[in-house]
Every structure is written in structure tokens, then in C-alpha cells.
Chains A and B, each alone.
Chain A
């Protein structure tokens, strides 16, 4: 319930979730020279964290706060402002479906129904097997190919409701066919 305040200072250890590894901290520090303040590295830090942990845990917020010399509340404030960041674990692949006008006029609602039926989940939920999480977002600036959706980094264009089953079954539906930059990614393990 939204009107019940959560006392985040006395959350039990196991609910704090995972923290940042040394490799992630180093990667975040790599952004410091770009900006006049450490605080400005917060969005890059959150991107890197979410790529490493799958979401931004409470412990990660505390660690980031320490690293950037902020309070955990400041970090939480920023995390909750941006729709990209998840504060609870999400699946391996995240589907982001456009809900704005061009996509809706071109059949976006049918695609939305097809995805929800196929996965059996609602918005901001994750399938029990942890494969997919699902959310909608305003215009993705791909309106010429409406309706469109992202699966992780891959943009799927002119999606039709009848394509959804095949699309979601495809193992490679998040693979890009261009060279990637790993600047905002989590560093490799070990």
C-alpha cells in the first residue's frame, strides 16, 4: 500500500539484495574524469549496476551513495524518477513496448494483449522462469516502424500480434547485428 511508509534503514540483510563488486566500482570510477562532480556519474553508475545485477538493489544504492559521496536517499530519489531502473529483480530479457499514439493507431494494443497472453504477466512483472520482464513506455522514436518494441537492446519493428509467439520463442531475439560498445555494461566476471 502506497500510504504505508517503509522503514528502509532497518531492512533485514537478506532484503537488501546484492551489492557492487570491485569490478563494477572500478568501472563507475572510470566515469569520474568526465564530469565536474562525482554526483554526475550517478546515471552511468545506475546503468552499469543494473547491467551487472539485473536491477538496482537497496544495497547497491547504499554502495553507490558511498562511492559518489551522496546519501542513499539521494540515490533512491534518482532511481525512482527514471522509468528505466527496476528496484526489484527482473528477468533476463526486458520487453519494452511503445504505447504512444502512432503505435496505438497501428495496432499496438493487440500486440500488448498478445504479449500479456503469451507470457501470462502484467506490466512490471516477470515470468516465473525468469526469462522475461515486461513494461510499456512512451514513444520510442521509431514511429515509422510502428508498432515497435525493444527486447533488451534490440528494436523489433512493425510487430504484429500474430508474430508475437514466434518472436518470443526466438533465442536470439535480443542479439544486435552491429558492433557493441561495452562502455555502460557490467565488466566481465572474474
Chain B
């Protein structure tokens, strides 16, 4: 392997989930080091390390912790293990193989933030994983890494796993907090930010699984070592995911800044496409971050990036900055799904639009109605009844939803707008071609298929069949 593995170091080690295996390789030494410092010193240390959040927003962890009010009695730590962004699975892989790395990270972050309880909010569909994690938590309690007077420091921390029950929006930090409180997972209006008034109204920190897993190695091996990895703005390694019809779908660790092409074609990564297919499109950061054109398109003539031209965009680097040049929302979760050349972009549009329409929590009008409107347009196009105007309509919709135009409580509609907008912009010729090739009777068929209820209104009684356009009378 060309890169040193930090987060995935213990993968493949026999019985890697067991505490004694983890400890045998220096486990919990980073936490032991941290507990000898003052909490504020740990915060400064992590601030200095500039560990940017791996949950999607890329906000530095140490800075987030320093927003906690100086005077506070109770602090809570929430671990975001809700991982529901398609097609992301790095948190799952990490917990499955090395649960104690996360638990050590929780101990470090808990101590630094002076938290008394850490809740691991784990999505409900993680069933086997729950048993693995719960066993690890039990082991850690028995060995004195949770509970009273941890490692003789006088610090006490409890750690519980809280199971979700199937809702994407509970991954949003305030949705997560509401869900933990036993309510519908409706994101809260900010401010107040969770650092000031979060869980049960107390100061709260929410961090992603991978963010916390970065902490123990940094504390154990020091800042100099960590600073040697990557650039100031994008430091450390990332667990990249690649899925779809590649030869080796999976999760791979590499320094930030891997190109999408390497992730798909590199021998140590995706190892190329199945059946010698080419790539039509890639969603490189989880579907919410937008889409790139694949190598069915020709290469651009010079190094410049021009997203208005139909050029191959696989040279995009996956770090916190380069993605912006390609019209993407951000790095997101760095989980790529590859769309092969023989796929129909109408199917992709439909699948993506459905996700947001069904996962919007419904509090904000433009998000609730905008996402379901986009879904209905996608259904219409898929049924073969699209209108050329529909593509403009989709684009216009995406301009009018989300936090960026300042209209919504949470970032879900921004994540819905980006993939739809970039898909419509970058694959417009294909969609236009499909629309031009449609049959003329498609419109009526579409209404029957997608909105059968329109023919079944009680007011029409049994006359519906005869009133429907095109019905044999």
C-alpha cells in the first residue's frame, strides 16, 4: 500500500474489534496522554491540529469546541453515527472493524469539552453494528475507560448508544438532538447553536464518527507528525468510499486530495470499471454534493476547468477546496458512486429526486414542496412525458431553496438542489434528446401511471373511466 493507514490501521487484524487487540497496538495511549493535560489544553491542541469535520461541513473540531460557554455545569457530547447520505459507508466500516478507535476518540473529545455523557446516535438500520458497538462499550466500561474516575484522573464520562429509527434528517445536528430528546427529528432554528443550548437545553457538541477517530493518533503521535500530512487547509487522511459498477467497490484510506480518477481506476482503489465500461457520471461526495462528468466525455484541451463545456471532469481533487472549481457544494463525505455509460440519466435523476422528496422533514415550505415538485418532474420525464421546459423549471427550483438563498432551517434542500442542478446542467443534451424522442401519447399515460388517483376521485363516481381522456367510449 502506498499510503500509511491511520484510521484503517487495524483492518484485517484478526479479532480487531476486541479491546485487548486494540490495546496491544498502543490503544488508549492517546487518551491517557490527553487526560494528563487540562481540558483547555486538549482543546488548544486539537485547534492547532486543525482537524476539519468529516461529517460534511468541514468545520474544524477544536474551534467548534471553543464555542462552548466558559461557565457551564453540564455538557453533552453527541456522536453522529447516523450515516444516511447515499452512498456513504465509511463510518460503518470504521465502527465495524475498529470500534475502540471511536470510543477512544469519544473519551478524548468528552474530556476536552468536559462532557458528562456521550450519546452515540446510531441509525436504526445498523443492526449487526449495534451489537458490535455495544460489546465494545461494555468492554470499555469494564476496563475503566468509561464510568467514574477514568484512568485515575477524577474525570467521569458515561457513554450510551441511542438507536435511531430511519430518518435521514436526524443526521443534521439539531435534528439529531431533537430525536435524542424523544421528538420528531425536526431540525431547530439556529441560533441558539447547540454549543450554547443543545441537548436538554445544555451546551452540546455534535461530531462525526470519523472526526473523533482522528483524535487518538494525533495525541499519541504528536502535532509535528500530523502536520506533515497534507496541506494546511486539508490535513490528514480521509476514508474514501467508492461504489457502483467498479471492480473493487469499498472504502479506502488516502491523504486528502485524491483525484476522482484515481479513486475509480487506481489499482489500490476501485480498480477500474466492470466489463470495460466507461464512466458517464460520478457523484463524488455523497449524492448531495453534485455530479461530475465522466470519461465518456473528451478531455479538455488545457488545464483550465470550465464546467459549461462537456469535458471529462475526473481530475477533480477530493479535498475541501478543489471540488468548488467543479461546481460542487463541497467535499461532503467523499463517497463516490459511479454511473456507467449504459445507464439512463433519467433513472438517476428520478432516484436522486425521490430521496430528497421522501426525506424532507416538511417544516419549511420551499424544501417540502420544492423537493416533491422536483420529484414529480423527474417522474414525468422518466415516464416519457417530459417537456423541454421541465429542465428549466428544475433549474429554477434549485435556485430557490435551501440555506444559501436563506430560506430554510437546515441544509437538506441545498443538498437537494446541487445534485439536481448540476445533473440538469451537465447532462442537459442527453435529457433533451430523451424528451425529443418521446411518444406523443406519453403525457396521458404518465398521468395515469403517476397519479392514478386523478381518475379515482369520489366525485366522479363510476364515471371516471368514461371521462378520462382517450378512454374508449
B182 touches A43 (CB 8 A): yes
Judge whether A179 and B127 touch: CB under 8 Å. no
Is A159 interfacial (CB-CB < 8 Å)? Answer: no
In chain A, residues 2-31, which have Cβ atoms closer than 8 Å to a Cβ of chain B? none
Query: Given A102-B86, A105-B337, is A178 in contact with B241 using a C-beta cutoff of 8 Å?
Result: no
Residue pair A155, B241 in contact (C-beta under 8 Å): no
**Cross-interface CB contact of B125 among A40, A42, A150, cutoff 8 Å:** A150
Chain A residues within an 8 Å CB radius of B87: 100-102, 139, 143, 146
Chain B positions 78-97 with a Cβ under 8 Å from a chain A Cβ: 83-89, 91-92
The answer to whether B184 touches A180 (Cβ under 8 A) is no
Q: Is B351 an interface residue (CB 8 A)?
A: yes
The verdict on A104 contacting B347 (CB below 8 Å), with A84-B124, A141-B123, A179-B131 known, is yes
Q: How many CB-defined contacts (below 8 Å) exist between A and B?
A: 159
Are B163 and A184 closer than 8 Å at their CB atoms? yes
Chain B residues positioned under 8 Å from A137 (CB to CB): 125, 166
Residue among A41, A47, A96, A153 with most chain B CB within 10 A: A153
Residue A39 CB within 8 A of the other chain: yes
Which residue in A77, A142, A181, A183 is a CB contact (below 8 Å) of B89? Answer: A142
| Bound Cα distance A143, B130 (Å) | 18
A176→B164 CA distance, assembly (Å): 20
Query: Residues of B contacting A43 with CB < 8 Å?
Result: 162-165, 179, 182
Query: Which residues 36-78 in A have Cβ within 8 Å of B in the complex?
Result: 36-37, 39-44, 46-47, 68, 74, 77-78
Which of B125, B160, B184 has a CB less than 8 Å from the CB of A141?
B125
> Chain A, interface size: which category?
35 or more
How would residues 121 to 134 of chain B score, 1 for a CB under 8 Å from any chain A CB and 0 otherwise? 00111111011101
Task: Return the contact of A102 from the options B91, B184, B243 (Cβ within 8 A).
Answer: B243
| Cβ distance B176 to chain A, nearest Cβ, rounded Å | 12
Chain B residues, CB < 8 A from A153: 127-128
- Asked if B394 CB lies within 8 Å of chain A CBs, one says no
Residue of A nearest to B199 (CB): A36
A106 within 8 A of B: yes
Whether A172 sits at the interface, judged by CB under 8 Å, is no
Instruction: Compute how far the CA of A140 lies from the CA of B179 in the bound complex, rounded to whole angstroms.
Output: 19
Determine if B126 and A141 form an interchain contact, defined as CB atoms under 8 angstroms apart. Answer: yes
Give Cα A44 to B162, complex, Å.
8
Partner pick for A40 among B167, B181, B283, B348, CB 8 A cutoff: B181
Asked whether B395 is an interface residue with its Cβ less than 8 Å from the other chain, the reply is: no
Docked Cα-Cα span, A101 to B355, in Å, equals 9
Q: Is B251 an interface residue (CB 8 A)?
A: yes
| A106–B244 touching, CB < 8 Å | yes
Decide yes or no whether B67 CB sits under 8 A from chain A. Answer: no
Q: Tell me, rounded to whole Å, the shortest Cβ–Cβ distance linking B338 to chain A.
A: 8
A residues in contact with B84, CB < 8 Å: 138-139, 141
Q: Does B340 lie within 8 Å of A105, measured CB to CB?
A: yes
Task: Determine whether B245 belongs to the interface, using a CB cutoff of 8 Å to chain A.
Answer: yes
Q: Nearest-CB distance from B168 to chain A (Å)?
A: 6
21 contacting pairs across A/B (C-beta < 8 A): A36-B199, A40-B200, A43-B163, A43-B164, A47-B163, A104-B347, A106-B245, A139-B87, A141-B88, A141-B125, A143-B241, A143-B337, A145-B249, A146-B244, A146-B249, A153-B127, A153-B128, A154-B127, A176-B131, A179-B131, A184-B130
Chain A residues close to B by CB (< 8 Å): 34-37, 39-44, 46-47, 68, 74, 77-78, 81-85, 96, 99-102, 104-106, 137-146, 150, 152-155, 176, 178-181, 183-184
Q: A39-B181, A84-B125, A101-B352 are in contact. List 11 more A-B contacts (CB 8 A).
A: A34-B160, A43-B165, A44-B162, A84-B166, A138-B358, A139-B86, A141-B123, A141-B125, A142-B89, A146-B249, A153-B127
